[in-house]
Structure 1
Amino acid sequence: MFHPLRKLQYRDPVRDIILGFMHNWLEGILEHQLRALWGIGRDTARSKTLAEFDEADDDEWTDSDISESETERNELKQEAQLFQDPVQWDQWRDTYLATYGASSSQASGTSTPRSIDLNLNEDVQMSYGDLIASEDAMEEDSDHTPVPASDMPADEPAHDESDTFQDIAVKGSWSFDKSRLAQLRAAIQEIILPTWVARPPGNLGEPGHRSLKADQYLILFTVILPLVIPEIGFDGSSDRQTIMLKSFQDLVAATIILTAFQTSIEAAV
């Protein structure tokens, strides 16, 4: 079928395409945020999918995995300390020579972790002091490009490896508790709106009302929720709530920019 837009010679059908934000954003992104991520009106299919995600997250890091990871970390530490102790270096060198010898090293074409050709054969006896001297000579022969001083302060506190990781992520099955949901529903009914504005249902999230329309999602996320969410909050954890509030702020800002009649590069950044 011939479309009148094809008469516009300057129109590029790829670069000049306009996505319908009503279906893609209002009835897509905002609906997913409300029903799936916040659990307000979450259906059975979404609940089942999110439960599978939660189960996968729980199995991702078990006590056994953490223990194995700690063991591997300690082994790497021991290997790193090997070349810092002259005695351990000599022991490793002797063991390596006795185990592999010159033929094995030359056949495989491998090099030592210090990136120095030891020429491992029976005639070479390199000590730890010889190794350090060789490295110093290599550094002197290299290009003497000045290295800028570090910007890190001299009194930078050392990283405390004893700090335990705190998982403050929100699981897929997260949802508003009953008290916060009740406050949200009360606010929907009490907030003063123009008569021509489509007010979201007062029993939001219950199966008693039909699916929300696009303009109801728009009013909910740009007018009602910005007035209510900062007051009722999301969660009891202060760290988690801070992150969720920041995410909600970004979502509202993106919605306002997307639905504006005009915008600019300054507003986008």
Structure 2
Amino acid sequence: MGLIAFNCLNLPPTTHNKLSNYCIAGITPGTHEPSVTTINHVLSPIIDQLLTLNTGVNIHTHAYPNGQLVRVKLLGLVGDVVGTHKVAGYALHSATCFCSYCDCTIQQRSKLQIGRRREDKVVRAQAINYQKAKTITQQEALVKKFGVHWSELNHLEYWDTVDHVILGVMHNWLEGVLQHHWRYQWGFKGACHQSLTHVTQGDRIDEEESDYESEEEAEGWDDDYNLQLGTAASLFSEREQKDFNRLLAGVVLPAGINRLPLNLGDTRHGKLKAVQWKSLYIYIIPLIVPELLVLDVEDSKKTSTHAMIIENITRLCRCTQIVLANEHTKADCNEFRSMYNRYNDTSRLLFNDTRILPNHHYALHIPDQLCFWGPLMAISEFAGEWMNGLLQKVKTNHVYYSLKRLALFREGSYSPQYFFLILLYP
């Protein structure tokens, strides 16, 4: 089940994401997610209403007995990438032209570079050509070439097909980039994976250091790794994951910060929530990683693999702080760009055959998103996902009235006055 909902950006960021300030405009039919064709049929009546609201409606109130002209415009489209691409008229991230912001192709994705920026008028022309195509074969050829299909949103002349598609940081950054690093680069994915093999002691130390190095080895940590391994290798072995969890048990977080399970890397704790990924990279990792990897502060080598691992994760944690911050400057946007590029560079050096996913490319556009929209957490998917969860828990037994009463009134989406209107006009 998918939810189509609106909120008012004229309200302060602290209040416009409250459930009571959302308008539920529609629910996509189940049991499978809608196709491109189906989603346009679902959107059609909503777009008709938006066209009317764009010209304005006269609303009579006590303060304005003669009426006040009110106009409504659709701005940002928020959701996961699959949803926003379908609604906005872009191909999915498995397509050749997968990005809605630039013309990067799937073959160029591994370079982690932004392509030529898409332009609204060009995308609209490509969408119209798709709509005018007479056969499915012609439409498929156009999608393969340009990565664009028709969307009902193109009826809104003020709608910008590029800038008004918001990159959802919950799915892209928290559950995308951060989760991939944790599970596949570091190996915390619920199973024992091959750890990066240690370089032999005789290859890198002299005799007077042998006692100290043997003590390091007894602790299960080494100063360098043989990193030339395939994608099946991961940074932390099972023993090292246990060391991480042992240190995690000693971390005391203030009230209000989401706790993490103490058996990270074990399938029994299930999936981490987005807010838990935030806690992990903002609070936990910066505390624990130095304890694990900095064996001797005075004797630590800047060129060692440990130092590179610390630099790599430090860049990622700093990027996370910028993405989740409540305010930004242009300097922050530039810092994110620099930090993220350096994170990718060190990842290539540390992890052989690093797999570059669409989320890694989309994250390159975060600085532009920050400059255009401001703090992305204020327009993130959290509220929509919360409403999805509420609606999915409602047991209606196919009784429509129960759905309205339970999901809308009891959960606080509408006022008691609205509930009274439902009673009068069911």
TM-score normalized by the length of structure 1: 0.48
- Bigger relative contact order, structure 1 or 2 (CA pairs below 8 A, ≥6 apart): 1
Structure of larger gyration radius: 1
| More helix per residue | 1
| More strand per residue | 2
TM-score normalized by the length of structure 2: 0.32
